[in-house]
Structure 1
Amino acid sequence: MSRKVRLGLYALAFAGLLAGLVLTGAALLAGGGSPAGLVVDRYRRDPARDIDGQARAFVATEPVSRVTAEVIDAWRPAARHVDASGVYLRYADDTVVIRPLAGGGTLILVEATSTAYPRYRSVLEGPWRRWPEPPGPDPVWEAER
């Protein structure tokens, strides 16, 4: 193989790698990096509804079913539970709780798994019985706070 052909192949490989990095970066900046990132990017923050400084609250005008579908379509949960109080989605590092608001719309709570599990244990003990012990503090979550 000639030197020109090899250089051309290297240039093509480098261009492909660079394009992949750009697309990955764009996805992360668009909230594609985690379920929490998706919620942060798509819904309006409502700090007045935060719980204990651990569960970050967001609101949407869409109904619970639509918000749930948007989150699940983007990020498949490890476990989910639906009851009259709302939809509970468990991910490796985050838990997303989606509940109806009395006046219409939806409340979305995003919380580190390590604090969400104890908070919702009474609701989720049966459905998520095999949920392993919560991991330690999540450095990414802590940085977002």
Structure 2
Amino acid sequence: MKPRYWFLVAGLAAALALVIALVMIFSTGTGPRGYVHNHYTRAAHLDIRGDDDNRAYTSPDPVTRVVADITRKWRPQSQTTDASGVYLRYSDDAVIVQPRQRGSVIHVMDVDEAYRRYHGHVGHYWGWIGTHGESFRGRGPGAGK
């Protein structure tokens, strides 16, 4: 082969490696959703019906240990606990960890859907949820007009 073909072959190999690396990065997911997916057992039979974005997972560990594990890696914007479980709010997702007979069930869903579904548990703590998961804190008179 002539020297210029080596550059072509090397360029194609580099482009292929980049594509493979990007697929690997984005297929494993990042953030709390990807972390839960990679560290807990998927339990599709526990998904909440009617919510296509919801994913359920299980762990043999108690709720406190699961929450400590997740929050150690991904710090939530808000965390609320009551007798039914622990509710973690992130910018786009919510992670709900509840006790199960042996261990915990973990639901990962869109933060807006979690707010609607669990309003009785999180409404006074999460505040109003905007379209991107931000809390409304007020911006003064005339804001947004």
Q: TM-score by structure 1 length?
A: 0.68
**Distance of 1:73 and 1:53 partners within structure 2:** 31
Structure 1, unaligned runs of 5 or more: 1-20, 137-145
Q: What is residue 62 of structure 1 aligned with on the other side? A: 61
Residues 117 and 134 in structure 1, CA contact (< 8 A), matched pair in contact too: no
**1:53 to partner: Cα distance:** 4.3
Tell me if structure 2 keeps the 8 A contact 1:88–1:96: yes
Query: Residue type matched to 2:114 in 1?
Result: A
What's the CA shift for 1:30?
9.6
Distance 1:107 1:52 in 2: 15
Asked if structure 1 preserves the Cα contact closer than 8 Å seen for 2:87 and 2:96, the reply is: yes
Q: How far apart are the structure 1 equivalents of 2:92 and 2:58?
A: 21
Q: Which has the higher Rg, Structure 1 or Structure 2?
A: 2
Distance in 2, matches of 1:126 and 1:30, equals 35
Name the residue aligned to 1:117. Answer: 115
Secondary structure of the 2:125 match is coil
- Greater share of helix: 1
Distance 1:61 1:29 in 2: 28
Query: Structure 2 length normalisation: TM-score?
Result: 0.68
List per-residue Cα deviations over 1:32-68 (Å, max 9, x = no partner): 7110000000000111110024221100001111100
The answer (yes or no) to whether the contact 2:115–2:129 under 8 Å persists in 1 is: no
Identity of aligned residues (%): 39
Shift, 1:28, TM fit: 4.6
Return the letter of the residue paired with 2:61: E
User: 1:100 aligns to what?
Assistant: 99
